[in-house]
Structure 1
Amino acid sequence: MTALTYTHSPSLTPLTTQSPQTLSATSNPPIDYLMTSVMVLRQPQPPSPSAFQNNSQKPQVLLLRRHPQDSYPLKWEPPGGSIDPSDPTVLSAATRELHEETNLSNPHFHTWVAMARELPTEDAARMKNWGVQPEEELARDVEVKIDEAGGVVMVTTFLETKNVWGKMNFVATVDEGAEVEIDPEEHVEWGWFTEEEVRRGRAVLPLENGNGSVNGEKEEKEKERVLEFTSRAVWGSVLEAFRVGRELGVIA
């Protein structure tokens, strides 16, 4: 297998040398299981400079729909997963997970992203229908030191069965025109979604996005989907990625 590569902004340089084990031990409380999540953003270009910006030209994020036989069945999430002992760094793990789940390669990591704290009341109310575990509703961001100069990253942590889980979320971009290919054993659908679609939890999927097989039956394509996320923390991090992406000029 060809070695996977990535690029990164200068602010993430300390994460190219620090091991995931050191990062986990530096956290307070220490993290028992560390994961990564990649918020891949893109800014579709209009067909002409004067063209009216519709949904297809607004900034979008890549999301995947989990397999019905997996934990959190049919919930939506960004690409990501657990860090393996063989992963030398968190960024290497994020690159590997992105490739395994979407076939996308050579990401550019712009920054880390925390969990959005402020959500409209109607959004918080809608989340209660997702079947979110109580432990995940108590997710919180903790600062973790990454260098002697005082640099820190935020890691979203939550407690599950007396173990502390942590997730490092990154904002990334990939080459324009790169094609997504999901593993049908892990996810059944994928899509590029606007901030408005993520916030209201509804979107229409194109025909080609996954096999659409849910509980052994084919779902209709070109039909509005309800976007239920694996947790409030994941949903909040996706929304925060849009804000941070605009702030950095990654998206407009």
Structure 2
Amino acid sequence: MASSTEDPAFAFTTHTSVEAFSVSPPVFLDCYFPLPGSSDTSRPPAPVFLATGAIVFDRPLPNNNFHPGSAGVDVSASAGALHEALTPNPNSDSAKPPRVLLIQRAAHDSMPLRWETPGGGCDDDDISILHSCARELFEEAGLHATTLGPVVRVGSVSSSEGIHGGESTKKQAHEWGEDMGGQFFRTRRGKLVCKFYFVAGVPEARTAEVVVDPKEHVGYVWVTEEEVRQKKVQGEEGGLDLEFTTQAQWEVILTAFHLWHA
């Protein structure tokens, strides 16, 4: 897939809260994490990787606050694209609960057949972290985000997969996460990652156009908050059980639904 620096299709309008993420991944690391070898202990250690996740609802987030653009964000798409993203479909049933997009990991991959939101690692040549999110959404689900934000702020540390160290280190990481919204975890090889989740707006007319990459995912489903809580999709023959990649992933999705209702 082409990176966001090469593909003009990654054009979106941003939420007012995501200005800090309008810079490239290397610049973000320099701004918000101590340099290697630094004695600065006021912030958590710099991760080896940055990653993003896209929370996609089947309709626009109510009362969202967008602006025409921010530093490093391509807003060459016309205002009509934003209007399309924010205007409810008159044929939709507003009484129905909102649903969020989940994709199922391939059987040959790690955490086989588990469910997650679209997302992945940031590339150094991505124009911004927001572009990383838009690129990953397209690569994993075939959808183009027309809006990005707000940040879905989530817990940053767990004893099993986050920052390892003394209570002071964990407290600093937690406070940093509360402020920036990043979630720390470690890969199977022990590499520290900080992941940011953003609500990614996709026009309602486009939500039926999900296409997953069979090398990475084998299916997708749109689920309600109650189905996420119960970890089961009703209506399927015998129902569809939802085993999420991690407990943290499950919590992120529920936090996003809380944003919807706020």
Give TM-score scaled by structure 1 length. 0.72
Q: Distance in 2 between matches of 1:229 and 1:41?
A: 18
Contact preservation (8 Å) 1:203, 1:227: yes
Q: What letter is aligned with 2:218?
A: V
Q: Secondary structure at the match of 2:107?
A: coil
Query: How has the CA–CA distance of structure 1 residues 8 and 34 changed in structure 2, closer, same or farther, with 3 Å as cutoff?
Result: same
Does the 8 Å contact 1:41/1:61 carry over to 2?
yes
Aligned equivalents of 1:226, 1:46: Cα separation in 2: 32
1:153 corresponding residue in structure 2 = 180
Question: Which one has the bigger strand percentage?
Answer: 1
Q: 1:100 aligns with which of 136, 139, 163?
A: 139
Runs of 4+ in 1 over 6 A off after TM superposition: 137-141
SS in 1 for 2:183: strand
* Cα separation, partners in 2 of 1:222 and 1:107, compared to 1, 3 Å: farther
SS in 2 for 1:136: coil
- Structure 1 residue 110 displacement after superposition: 2.6
Task: Quote the Cα distance in structure 1 between the aligned partners of 2:13 and 2:89.
Answer: 23
Amino acid at match of 2:227: E
Alignment of 1:190-201 (within 5 A): 190-201=220-231
Structure 2 counterpart SS, 1:86: coil
Aligned partners of 1:203 and 1:35: how far apart in 2? 28
Aligned counterpart, 1:183: 213
1:5 positional shift? 1.2
> How many percent of aligned residue pairs carry the same amino acid?
33
Equivalent pair of 1:136/1:232 in contact (CA under 8 Å): no
Shift of the 197–156 alpha-carbon distance from structure 1 to 2, 3 Å rule, reads same
The Cα of 1:245 is off from its aligned counterpart by: 2.1
1:135 to 2:160 alignment = yes
- How many residues align structurally? 206
What code does the residue aligned with 1:113 have? V
- Pairwise CA distance, 1:162: 4.0
Q: Which residue of structure 2 aligns with residue 39 of structure 1?
A: 55
1:109/1:96 CA distance change after superposition, 3 Å? same
Contact 1:115 1:234 in 2 (8 A): no
Tell me how far apart the structure 2 counterparts of residues 152 and 228 of structure 1 sit (CA, whole Å).
29
Q: Is 1:19 aligned with 2:47?
A: no
- In 1, the alpha carbon distance for the partners of 2:193 and 2:92 equals 46
The SS at the match of 1:69 is coil
In structure 1, the residue matched to 2:83 is none
Report what 2:256 is aligned to.
241
**Structure 1 residue aligned with 2:16, among 4, 10, 24?**
10
Structure 2 residue corresponding to 1:109, chosen from 140, 148, 153: 148
2:244 counterpart SS class: coil
SS in 2 for 1:157: strand
Listed as ranges, the matches of 1:51-70 within 5 Å are: 53=95, 57-70=96-109
Partner residue in 2 for 1:213: none
Structure 1 unmatched ranges of 5 or more: 118-132, 146-150, 206-220, 248-252
Residue deviations 1:69-111 (CA, integer Å, cap 9, x gap):
0111000000101111221211000000001111111331131
Secondary structure class of the residue paired with 2:18? helix
The answer to whether residue 165 in structure 2 is matched with residue 173 in structure 1 is no
Give the distance between the partners of 1:48 and 1:34, measured in 2 at CA.
Answer: 37
Give 5+ residue unaligned stretches, structure 2: 1-6, 34-43, 60-87, 165-169
Indicate conservation of the 8 Å contact 1:36/1:167, yes or no. yes
User: Residue 9 and residue 200 in structure 1: after superposition, are their counterparts in 2 closer, same or farther (change >3 A)?
Assistant: same
Report Cα offsets for 1:137-161 as digits up to 9, x if no partner.
779864559xxxxx94210002344
Relative to the length of structure 2, the TM-score reads 0.69
Question: How big is the shift at 1:134?
Answer: 7.5
Could you tell me whether the CA contact under 8 Å between 2:89 and 2:204 is conserved in 1?
A: no
SS of 1:37's equivalent?
strand
